[in-house]
């Protein structure tokens, strides 16, 4: 397979600055707190030479630039990277990455399911031989699921699939996938980014930008720098070129982003698109236009989204909405971000509506506005582009009656993280042979026929290409911070070797060679400088040209009544300290749980007082939440940071696998969510679920 150099974009190198901010109590980051737990598997902290290795954490989905402190060559702590344009601190997840290296829950050897259904340990050569045999038997009837669609490993996966005759590479759903679909529906040959650094007024609709949306640590650093009276130390200078901005959050819950925002606009979950269309109505009424090919059609469509109608659909106060639009109009560099409250499941239509609002504000490709960034072409011949991969719908693939002969899952846990996980488990069991590359025995790995222990992020070379949310193009590479644990394998490396054994070899000798070639084409001064933590940056933008506001898509989507069948709207939310579907709950992050969030194994559901009284429940009551024929139990928590007729439930609980720190803690909220097709977009949505509540 050859290298596709001609269509690969060249970038200019650049630099940026960053300032640290983190919500984690600093005591949790002290070496003493990390290394003096009464857990026998944590090695004792010893004196020795300190060294620091630059890396980035993909354990945190937002991708966090980090420094790994090593003592006598052993990683002991994660620190922030001052000055990195994608950084700004360490998150609860990136801080836990070193600890997870030493977890006894990590898989140590490959496991193969025998005819009796039991898993048995096998050697690494046996595992790669079994995998090779299964690929030979399956031929083109293979499919892949990846939990990381950002970087060159997925390029190798897609090129390998293509060599076998398959285009079935499926990403886990994300805001990035929704944005990719929205850009395509608008007719834009570009990816969407957001120039938060230079905005003076940010309206985040659904997008929890300080917790679960986009480049979270970068977002926090920008916010921190815009609030010198609150966060900057006495005498500390503001970041050069930074612009203070007014932050507004529109969403159902007053959590991190809403709590520190200048204004919180409570809106029902799943109505982000309707709110954006209501804003578009007011902007057009104020005389704003844009050069979209369907502007007149769009104008006629949003005429129905009056402040009163928008208030009815979303629950937002009509007067406050009008006031916010006036502030957007008065701002010099306004920016509107529309996304999911929990990182997936909102669909493409809300992002498309947000694109329309930004176009009406006249901020496309302007400082502080919505950026249209060039797409990256895959370097390997036959590899799918990121947008092509985002065009594959994992939910529908798993729901389809036809199953591939072989399914390979890399660092993803769909049996836990997708709506209606019981049906997902059935789908995976129906595949004749399934393979999981995983660092831990998660819910999906436990179903597979072959489980291959995967190296963790700090044990391998990896790259990041412009993470979603960033307002400019970037390319980052990190070297291993430590030697890989004995027994683990690298998925990209295994597939490269398997391709060679199948006589379908790539025109690269190794994964590292691919990254070196890509770094050269991106314009890195040297590969050594890139792996030393200096990213390649580029300010290049793509002209909007003729684009659409997606009027017909919006008409189809909003012909369907929002909300579910239940009496309450369900508002799932993310707490990054509780880990991800592929990490479980990191051990010491259990300390971040409040007493009213988890009572033994019973999780909480949060209502405000009006909603609780309406449903005749009180704080501390044990209740059942029902939706789609499924029920979970929870304990009522009263908090006024939840809007009326809304039940807030935290994601990250309900694991049946991993370890003692993750198991037997609450229930998985995804059990209540059902995926419904989003008309006209090719995606599914599950952010509009309704639930019933009653005393248990």
The answer to whether residue 63 scores a pLDDT higher than 50 is: yes
**Residues 6 or more apart in contact with residue 327 via CB below 8 angstroms:** 201, 246, 248
Torsion sign over Cα 604, 589, 673, 336 = positive
Q: What percent of the chain has pLDDT over 90?
A: 80
Question: What local confidence, expressed as pLDDT, does residue 41 receive?
Answer: 67
Residues 61-64: contacts with CB within 8 Å, 24+ apart? 61/174, 61/343, 61/580, 62/91, 62/214, 62/215, 62/216, 62/217, 62/467, 62/469, 63/150, 63/215, 63/464, 63/467, 64/89, 64/90, 64/91, 64/93, 64/94, 64/216, 64/217
Q: How confident is the model at residue 83 (pLDDT cuts 50, 70, 90)?
A: confident
Q: Do 28 and 591 meet the contact criterion of CB atoms below 8 Å apart?
A: yes
Question: What local confidence, expressed as pLDDT, does residue 565 receive?
Answer: 53
- What value does the mean pLDDT take over residues 663-670? 95
**Residues 6 or more apart in contact with residue 194 via CB below 8 angstroms:** 214, 335, 337, 370, 371, 469, 470, 471
Distance set, CA 374 to CA 183, 191, 203 (Å): 12, 6, 24
- What value does the mean pLDDT take over residues 432-438? 98
The answer to whether residue 472 scores a pLDDT higher than 70 is: yes
568-573 vs 646-650, strand pairing mode: parallel
Q: Do 91 and 64 meet the contact criterion of CB atoms below 8 Å apart?
A: yes
- What value does the mean pLDDT take over residues 141-159? 95
- What value does the mean pLDDT take over residues 465-484? 94
CA distance 347 to 178: 5
CA distance 319 to 397: 44
Stated pTM of the model: 0.92
Q: How confident is the model at residue 498 (pLDDT cuts 50, 70, 90)?
A: very high
Q: Which of 39-48, 249-258, 519-528, 551-560 has the lowest mean pLDDT?
A: 39-48
CA distance 210 to 217: 7
Question: What local confidence, expressed as pLDDT, does residue 233 receive?
Answer: 45
Q: What percentage of the chain's residues is helix, strand, coil (to nearest 5)? A: 30, 20, 45
The answer to whether residue 23 scores a pLDDT higher than 90 is: no
Residue 497: both structure tokens together: 């070797």
CA distance 171 to 174: 8
Question: What backbone phi and psi angles, to 5 degrees, belong to 271?
Answer: -115, 25
Question: What local confidence, expressed as pLDDT, does residue 548 receive?
Answer: 97
Question: What backbone phi and psi angles, to 5 degrees, belong to 280?
Answer: -60, -40
The answer to whether residue 118 scores a pLDDT higher than 50 is: yes
The answer to whether residue 205 scores a pLDDT higher than 80 is: yes
More confident residue, 228 or 526: 526
- What value does the mean pLDDT take over residues 460-479? 94
Distance set, CA 290 to CA 156, 271, 296, 297, 343 (Å): 41, 24, 10, 12, 29
Distance set, CA 677 to CA 3, 451, 572 (Å): 37, 32, 19
Q: How many CB atoms lie within 10 A of CB 113?
A: 16
294-324 confidence digits (pLDDT tens): 999 999 999 999 999 999 999 999 999 999 9
Residue with tokens 């630039």: 65
CATH 3.40.190.10 correct for 564-695: no
The answer to whether residue 20 scores a pLDDT higher than 50 is: no
Q: What angle do CA 489, 490, 494 make, to 5 degrees?
A: 90
- What value does the mean pLDDT take over residues 392-398? 97
Q: Do 506 and 380 meet the contact criterion of CB atoms below 8 Å apart?
A: yes
Q: State the average pLDDT for the chain.
A: 90
Q: How confident is the model at residue 43 (pLDDT cuts 50, 70, 90)?
A: low
The answer to whether residue 276 scores a pLDDT higher than 70 is: yes
Q: How many CB atoms lie within 10 A of CB 1?
A: 18
Following DSSP, what letter does each residue of 237-270 receive, concatenated?
PPPTT----EEEEEESB-SHHHHHSSEEEE--TT
Task: Name the CA radius of gyration of the chain, rounded.
Answer: 24
209-256 confidence digits (pLDDT tens): 999 999 999 999 999 888 765 444 444 444 544 447 899 999 999 998
Question: What local confidence, expressed as pLDDT, does residue 101 receive?
Answer: 93
Q: What percent of the chain has pLDDT over 70?
A: 90
- What value does the mean pLDDT take over residues 112-128? 96
CA distance 653 to 671: 11
Q: How confident is the model at residue 594 (pLDDT cuts 50, 70, 90)?
A: confident
Question: What local confidence, expressed as pLDDT, does residue 376 receive?
Answer: 85
More confident residue, 88 or 28: 88
Question: What local confidence, expressed as pLDDT, does residue 324 receive?
Answer: 97
Question: What local confidence, expressed as pLDDT, does residue 25 receive?
Answer: 36
The answer to whether residue 386 scores a pLDDT higher than 70 is: yes
The answer to whether residue 612 scores a pLDDT higher than 80 is: yes
The domain covering 190-374+546-552 belongs, at the CATH homologous superfamily level, to Dimethylsulfoxide Reductase, domain 2 (3.40.228.10)
Q: Which of 246-260, 357-371, 512-526, 552-566 has the lowest mean pLDDT?
A: 552-566
The answer to whether residue 19 scores a pLDDT higher than 70 is: no
Q: How confident is the model at residue 38 (pLDDT cuts 50, 70, 90)?
A: low
CA distance 602 to 132: 44
Q: Do 49 and 66 meet the contact criterion of CB atoms below 8 Å apart?
A: no
Domain boundaries along the sequence of the chain: 190-374+546-552, 564-695
More confident residue, 20 or 406: 406
Q: How many CB atoms lie within 10 A of CB 403?
A: 18
Q: Which of 10-19, 369-378, 398-407 has the lowest mean pLDDT?
A: 10-19
């Amino acid at each position: 397979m050859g290298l596709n150099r001609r269509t690969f974009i060249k970038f200019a190198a650049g630099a940026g600055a960053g300032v640290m901010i983190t919500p984690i109590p600093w005591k949790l980051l002290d070496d003493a707190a990390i290394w003096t737990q009464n857990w026998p598997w944590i090695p004792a902290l010893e004196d020795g030479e300190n060294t620091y290795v630059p890396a980035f954490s993909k354990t945190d989905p937002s991708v966090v630039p980090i420094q790994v402190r090593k003592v006598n060559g052993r990683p002991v702590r994660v620190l922030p990277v001052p000055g990195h344009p994608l950084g700004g601190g360490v998150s609860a997840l990136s801080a836990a990455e070193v600890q997870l290296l030493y977890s006894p829950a990590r898989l140590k050897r490959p496991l193969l399911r025998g005819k009796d259904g039991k898993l048995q340990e096998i050697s690494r050569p046996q595992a790669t031989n079994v995998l090779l045999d299964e690929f030979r038997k399956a031929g083109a009837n293979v499919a892949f699921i990846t939990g990381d669609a950002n970087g060159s490993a997925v390029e190798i996966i897609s090129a390998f699939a293509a060599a076998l005759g398959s285009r079935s590479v499926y990403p886990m759903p994300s805001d990035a996938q929704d944005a990719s679909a929205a850009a395509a529906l608008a007719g834009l040959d570009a990816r969407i980014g957001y120039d938060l650094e230079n905005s003076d007024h940010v309206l985040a609709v659904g997008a929890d930008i300080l917790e679960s949306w986009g480049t979270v640590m970068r977002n926090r650093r920008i916010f921190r720098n815009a609030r010198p009276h609150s966060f900057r130390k006495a005498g500390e200078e503001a970041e050069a070129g930074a612009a203070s901005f007014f932050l507004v959050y529109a969403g159902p819950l007053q959590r991190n982003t809403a709590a520190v925002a200048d204004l919180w606009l409570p809106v029902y979950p799943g109505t982000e698109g309707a709110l954006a269309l209501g804003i578009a109505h007011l902007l057009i009424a104020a005389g704003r236009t844009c050069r979209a090919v369907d502007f007149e059609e769009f104008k006629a469509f949003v005429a129905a989204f009056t402040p009163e109608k928008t208030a009815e659909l979303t629950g937002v106060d009509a007067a406050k909405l009008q006031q916010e639009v006036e502030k957007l109009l008065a701002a010099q560099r306004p920016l509107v971000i529309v996304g999911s409250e929990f990182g997936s499941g909102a669909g493409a239509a809300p992002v498309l509506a947000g694109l329309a609002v930004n176009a009406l504000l006249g901020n496309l490709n302007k400082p502080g506005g919505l950026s249209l960034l060039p797409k990256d072409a895959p370097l390997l011949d036959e590899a799918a582009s990121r947008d092509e991969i985002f065009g594959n719908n994992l939910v529908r693939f798993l729901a389809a009656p036809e199953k591939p002969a072989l399914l390979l899952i890399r660092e993803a846990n769909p049996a836990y993280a997708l709506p209606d996980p019981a049906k997902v488990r059935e789908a995976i069991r129906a595949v004749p042979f399934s393979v999981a590359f995983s660092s831990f025995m998660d819910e999906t790995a436990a179903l597979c026929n072959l489980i291959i222990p995967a190296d963790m992020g700090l044990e391998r070379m990896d790259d990041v290409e412009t993470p979603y949310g960033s307002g400019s193009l970037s390319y980052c590479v990190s070297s291993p911070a430590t030697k890989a644990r004995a027994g683990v394998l690298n998925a990209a490396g295994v597939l490269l070797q398997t391709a060679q054994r199948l006589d379908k070899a790539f025109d690269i000798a190794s994964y590292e060679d691919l990254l070196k070639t890509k770094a050269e084409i991106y314009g890195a001064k040297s590969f050594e400088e890139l792996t030393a933590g200096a990213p390649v940056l580029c300010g290049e933008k793509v002209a909007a040209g003729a684009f659409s506001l997606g009027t017909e898509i919006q008409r189809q989507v909003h012909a369907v009544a929002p909300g579910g069948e239940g009496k309450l709207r369900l508002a799932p939310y993310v707490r990054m300290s509780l880990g991800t579907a592929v990490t479980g709950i990191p051990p010491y992050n259990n300390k971040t749980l409040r007493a009213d969030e988890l009572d033994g194994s019973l999780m909480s559901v949060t209502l405000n007082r009006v909603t609780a009284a309406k449903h005749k429940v009180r704080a501390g009551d044990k209740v059942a939440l029902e939706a789609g024929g499924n029920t979970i139990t929870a304990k009522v928590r009263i908090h006024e940071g939840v809007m009326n007729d809304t039940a807030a439930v935290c994601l990250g609980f309900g694991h049946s696998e991993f370890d003692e720190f993750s198991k037997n803690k609450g229930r998985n909220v995804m059990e209540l969510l059902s995926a419904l097709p989003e008309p006209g977009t090719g995606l599914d949505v599950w952010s509009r679920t309704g639930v019933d509540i009653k005393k248990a």
